[in-house]
Amino acid sequence: MKTSIVLLLSLISQYSDVSCVEFKDCGSVDGKVTSIVVQDCGVSDDYCPLHIGKTASIDMKFTANVDSDKATVILTGIIPDIGAIEYLTEDGCNGKYNLKCPIKKGNQYEMKFEMQAPPVPADMTLSILVKLVDSNGKNMICQQFPAHVIP
């Protein structure tokens, strides 16, 4: 029995596409992130790999601390010594992100989406900010993670 469990766990880890990565909160005001999973990015990685021309799946679970009629998804790349490049601003309730508005206080939500690498030169490291802004203009969630853009 013990051997079967070890073998099963070994197979799962060997063939798993995704693993949890530790994100840094960058100003979540009106919500609390409970888990984040990024494709091909593990907790022991220094950077999450983002391949130019490919997408990375992101799954974020959070609890809303306020009611909100709308939600806006904002993706920003922060390049060292250069600054911030906001490269996506989109309605989070358009069906593309697995969110249904209105968002209700106390409810748990799961935001799923495919993210492109930001428009930066290949072989560059940067920080990615993922924000969900509520109808009051406040960050419901804001999470930051290190990424490496790969050709």
- CATH number, domain containing residue 62: 2.60.40.770
- Per the structure, the count of domains in the chain is 1
* Contact present, 114 and 86 (Cβ < 8 Å): no
CA dist 129 and 75 (Å) reads 6
Confidence (pTM):
0.81
Whether the pLDDT of residue 24 is over 60: the answer is yes
- Taking a C-beta distance cutoff of 8 angstroms, is the pair 69, 62 a contact? no
Asked if residue 2 is part of any domain, the answer here is no
Residue 38 lies in a domain: yes
Name the amino acid, one letter, at 137.
Answer: G
**Chain-centroid distance, C-alpha 121:** 21
Ranking 6-20, 22-36, 82-96, 115-129 by mean pLDDT, the lowest is 6-20
**Domain limits at 98?**
18-150
* 75 part of a folded domain: yes
d(CA 140, CA 95): 18
| Residue 146 predicted with pLDDT over 50 | yes
